[in-house]
Structure 1
Amino acid sequence: MLFNSLQYLIFLPLVFALYWGMNHRSLKLQNLLLLAASYYFYACWDWRFLFLLVFSTGLDYYTGLKMKDAHSVRMKKFWFWLSIGINVGFLGIFKYYNFFAESFAELLSGFGFQANLWTLQVILPVGISFYTFHGLSYVIDIYKNRIEPERNIVDYSLFVSYFPLLVAGPIERATHLLPQIKKRRNFDYTKAVDGLRQILWGLFKKVVIADNCANYANVIFENPEAHSGSTLALGAVFFAFQIYGDFSGYSDIALGTSRLFGIELLKNFNYPYFSRDIAEFWRRWHISLSTWFRDYLYIPLGGSQGGTLMKVRNTFIIFLVSGFWHGANWTFIVWGLLNALFIMPSIILNTNRNNLDIVAKGKNFPTIKELIQIILTFGITCFAWIFFRAKDLDAAFNYVKGIFSDTFFNLPHFAGKYYSFGTMFFIFLLIVIEWLDRENNYGLQKFLSKKTKMARWFFYLFLIVFIFIYSGQEQSFIYFQF
């Protein structure tokens, strides 16, 4: 069930009405309804994988209780590593087994040996990387005595399976989400309206920005040999806005949807394309994943406490693991390696925390220096996105080679070029709105706050009309494949 589908347009108001209709009865009933709705939401993708979600939930719930009640450190470690092993094992089998098998076969063939290794003919369970990380953080936090295990199975199951974040995040923490699940919630009209506004903005970014950028990015990436260097560079820019509109749009819809039910989710994007360096970019892009790796991998490895060499080593590990988390393909690993290389100067020079506040805070425009920094950061980010988008390394290197050819200064030309001007206008509109609202939680939050009610509704109608115009063919979200 896609957020941008007619099915979801029926599902959400129905769950909303039932949820608040039983508000006066019982919090337990509300949570049970949300859990049932979440399982139905997931089953709409493929009911056969519902058992995997339920099993993973039950495993981590039971593990948490057993670790708490363990009478020895040895037994606590046993239950901890059992849960970690099974969770990572499932993720490895479904997501990475074929990659390792095929890579090993290619390695053997390089030495003259032919190996026909058995591969799995299964689809990747949607959302497995996200709900697995929910469970892992919960188990780790209990093992480290940071939290107490949750004894209410419905509440814990809802924490793992809550439908707004189930298939593509944000990756929540038990310390943030579980207390909200256990606390009685009252309907707040202001929050609900704000949630609807964020959903609208998310749909605009997905349907109008991302899906239209995808049309032109696909044309260019699928046949790079036929295009000039300037066209290939433009294709990378189209993909940059495609993946941003797609994933941040999903996050906006998820956060807005959850706000309708009185639950606040972690902010996942904070205007990353206004970053002045790569370190700032990664503090603003996919925040829930970046902080997850920071807290559960980077810091346990020693973080930045052991000198420059340790910081360099740990940074490379984090980015390579992050790349591999995104997909079982060498392109993602190289993408992670490139970002590690881009961030390395600031790590070595200890300038990676120079830009903690949003750019030009309290001002209308950035300085010339800040503008140049933003453009350069966006440029190298687009360069890395080429490897993220390419089907394999050969395609990525050929694409890069094509950009840096003698046709780089030619005028871009591709199928649908003139139709793309409308998409470019909407990209410009996106940039303007998010720039003006960059000190708030999302792009449309305060943009029209000083306008008349009629002006606000006119602009909302403008967005809705174009969402319907461009929503003829439902397109899945990019991060569903991860």
Structure 2
Amino acid sequence: MLFNSLNFLLFFIIVFSLYWFVFGRRLAWQNLFLMLASYVFYAFWDWRFLFLLIFSTCLDFVSGIQIYRAKSDKLRRLYLVLSVGINLGFLGVFKYYNFFADSLARLLEAGGIHTHWTLLSIVLPVGISFYTFHGLSYVFDIYNRKIEPSYNFVNYSLFVSFFPLLVAGPIERATHLLPQVEKPRQFSYEQACDGITQILWGLFKKVVIADGCAQFANQIFNESGQFGGITLFAGAALFAFQIYGDFSGYSDMAMGVSKLLGFELLRNFNYPYFSRSIPEFWRRWHISLSSWFRDYLYIPLGGSRGGRWHSLRNLIIIFVVSGFWHGANWTFVVWGLLNALYYIPSLLFKSNRDHLNTVAEDRALPNFKELMQMMATFIMTVFAWVFFRAPSVQFAFSYCHRILLAAFDPNAYKEMLTYVRWTIGIPMMLILFCFMVLEWVGRRELHPLLVFRKHIPKPARHALYYVILIVVFLFAGKQQQFIYFQF
């Protein structure tokens, strides 16, 4: 049930109506209804995996109470290990068993040992990486005595399974979302208007930018042998826009839908392609996952407290684990390693905490230095995205090698310009340009349309909304699955 589908529109109209007009006077009934609606939403993908979600929820609910009530540290650790071990065990079987089995078989065969591993014909449950991390953060926070456990199963289950964020995040924390679940909510017209405009902007990013770029990025990657190196770079840049529009568009829609129900979710993206360095990029990209690994892996490993080499080790670990979290393929591991290599100079020269503010915060345009920094960061990110998108590591290296070889070939630029003009088309390039202008104008706000809500007269503002909506309808026929549903 995609957010940009008629099925979801009908589902949400029913949920919204019953939630506010039938169950709106009693918090307990609201939460029970939302929990059941979330289970229906998840069952729409594959009802068989609903039982896995419920089991994981029950496991962490009971584990949290047992950790809190345990009389000794040894017993507390035991309950924590059981909860974490079982959760990661399920994640490992469904997501990583075939990868490890196949990789080990190839390694042994390279040494002359022939094996016959049995691979599992299983489907990856949608959203398993996200709701598993919801539960893990909950039991970690109880173990670290940051929160007390919830004794209301419905409330806790709603925190884990809340349908706007269930299948692709953001990865919420119990410290942030659970208190919102437990307190009464009243309909807010202002919050609802903000939610609707954020949904509209998310739809534009997904349907127009992501799905619009996807057809060209897919063509270039799938037929890479027919194109020159600069056109290959254009394909990688289009994928960069695709994955940003796809994932941040989903996050915007999730936040907007949640606001219509009276909830505020964690921010997941903060204009990452306006970053002036790789550390800044990772403070702005998939924020909920980056902060999760920082709080529950990097800091427990010692963070930057143990000296330079200790910090480098921890940095590489979290980037490799982050890459592996995204998928069971060596391409994701290399993607994580490459980002770690990008990050290391900033850590060595202690510049990783630079650029904590918004670029050109008090100016309309960036200065030359900021422009060069943003361009360099974007180009580095595009090369990293090649490994994320590529079917194999060998393909990715060959793809990048051909880009670098063509950097000084004038004919390669001519081919790329021809492809842009006659295949991608001027209208699509204008849409991408306008998109980046709107993002730049709105870079100080949660989303660009907030700027127009605050500073533009209502007739002009509504005209812009209608234009965006018309463009969304024009591109609606190119609907594609959200990329992050596979993670």
What interval of TM-score do these two structures reach, taking the shorter chain for normalisation? Answer: over 0.9
2:324 match: 324
2:354 matched to 1:349?
Answer: no
How many angstroms does 1:73 deviate by?
2.2
Distance (Å, rounded) in 1 between the aligned partners of 2:429 and 2:219? 16
Distance (Å, rounded) in 1 between the aligned partners of 2:206 and 2:50? 27
2:204 matched to 1:200?
Answer: no
2:482 match: 477
Q: Is the 8 A contact 1:434 1:444 kept in 2?
A: no
Q: Is the 8 A contact 2:231 2:413 kept in 1?
A: no
Unaligned runs of 5+ in 1: none
Pick from 437, 449, 454: which aligns with 1:449?
Answer: 454
How many angstroms does 1:420 deviate by?
3.4
* Matched residue SS, 1:4: coil
Distance (Å, rounded) in 1 between the aligned partners of 2:89 and 2:252? 31
How many angstroms does 1:363 deviate by?
1.1
How many angstroms does 1:411 deviate by?
2.9
Distance (Å, rounded) in 1 between the aligned partners of 2:146 and 2:393? 42
* Matched residue SS, 2:366: coil
1:390 match: 390
Q: Is the 8 A contact 2:108 2:114 kept in 1?
A: yes
How many angstroms does 1:72 deviate by?
2.3
1:285 match: 285
2:161 match: 161
The amino acid across from 1:12 in the alignment is F
* Matched residue SS, 2:216: helix
User: CA-to-partner distance for each residue in 1:412-443, whole Å, 9 max, x for gaps?
Assistant: 15499444332221111111111111111112
1:255 match: 255
* Matched residue SS, 1:213: helix
Distance 1:322 1:58, change over 3 A: same
Distance (Å, rounded) in 2 between the aligned partners of 1:420 and 1:320? 38
2:463 match: 458
1:181 match: 181
Distance (Å, rounded) in 2 between the aligned partners of 1:15 and 1:295? 34
Q: Is the 8 A contact 1:22 1:29 kept in 2?
A: no
How many residue pairs were aligned?
482
Q: After the TM superposition, which residues 326-475 of structure 1 pair with which residues of structure 2 at under 5 Å, given as runs? A: 326-406=326-406, 407=409, 408-412=412-416, 413-414=418-419, 417-475=422-480
Q: After the TM superposition, which residues 232-251 of structure 1 pair with which residues of structure 2 at under 5 Å, given as runs? A: 232-251=232-251
User: CA-to-partner distance for each residue in 1:204-260, whole Å, 9 max, x for gaps?
Assistant: 000000001000000000111110111001001100000000000000000011011
Q: State the TM-score, normalized to the length of structure 1.
A: 0.98
How many angstroms does 1:473 deviate by?
4.3
Q: Is the 8 A contact 1:228 1:410 kept in 2?
A: no
Q: Is the 8 A contact 1:201 1:444 kept in 2?
A: yes
Distance (Å, rounded) in 2 between the aligned partners of 1:400 and 1:49? 39
User: CA-to-partner distance for each residue in 1:282-304, whole Å, 9 max, x for gaps?
Assistant: 00000000000000000000001
* Matched residue SS, 1:396: helix
2:65 matched to 1:65?
Answer: yes
Q: Is the 8 A contact 2:273 2:374 kept in 1?
A: yes
Distance (Å, rounded) in 2 between the aligned partners of 1:415 and 1:101? 43
The amino acid across from 1:409 in the alignment is Y
Q: Is the 8 A contact 2:216 2:424 kept in 1?
A: no
The amino acid across from 2:193 in the alignment is V
Distance (Å, rounded) in 1 between the aligned partners of 2:55 and 2:218? 38
* Matched residue SS, 1:137: helix
Q: State the TM-score, normalized to the length of structure 2.
A: 0.97
User: CA-to-partner distance for each residue in 1:175-194, whole Å, 9 max, x for gaps?
Assistant: 00000000101110001000
The amino acid across from 1:341 in the alignment is L
How many angstroms does 1:450 deviate by?
2.4
* Matched residue SS, 2:305: coil
* Matched residue SS, 1:264: coil
1:268 match: 268
The amino acid across from 1:411 in the alignment is E
How many angstroms does 1:448 deviate by?
4.9
Q: Is the 8 A contact 1:34 1:158 kept in 2?
A: yes
Q: Is the 8 A contact 2:452 2:461 kept in 1?
A: no
* Matched residue SS, 2:481: coil
Distance 1:58 1:215, change over 3 A: same
How many angstroms does 1:403 deviate by?
1.0
Distance (Å, rounded) in 1 between the aligned partners of 2:427 and 2:40? 38
Distance (Å, rounded) in 2 between the aligned partners of 1:62 and 1:24? 29
1:15 match: 15
Q: Is the 8 A contact 1:229 1:410 kept in 2?
A: no
The amino acid across from 2:415 in the alignment is L
Q: Is the 8 A contact 1:433 1:447 kept in 2?
A: no
Q: Would you tell me which structure has more helix in proportion to its own residues?
A: 2
* Matched residue SS, 1:371: helix
**More off after superposition, 406-415 vs 111-120:** 406-415
Distance (Å, rounded) in 2 between the aligned partners of 1:201 and 1:215? 21
* Matched residue SS, 2:477: coil
Distance 1:450 1:291, change over 3 A: same
Distance 1:214 1:59, change over 3 A: same
How many angstroms does 1:145 deviate by?
1.1
How many angstroms does 1:24 deviate by?
4.7
User: CA-to-partner distance for each residue in 1:145-201, whole Å, 9 max, x for gaps?
Assistant: 111000000000000000000000000000000000001011100010000000000
Distance (Å, rounded) in 2 between the aligned partners of 1:70 and 1:426? 58
Q: Is the 8 A contact 1:236 1:385 kept in 2?
A: yes
How many angstroms does 1:459 deviate by?
1.0
Distance (Å, rounded) in 1 between the aligned partners of 2:120 and 2:421? 39
Distance (Å, rounded) in 2 between the aligned partners of 1:414 and 1:105? 42
Tell me the C-alpha RMSD between the 2 structures. 1.2
2:6 match: 6
1:45 match: 45
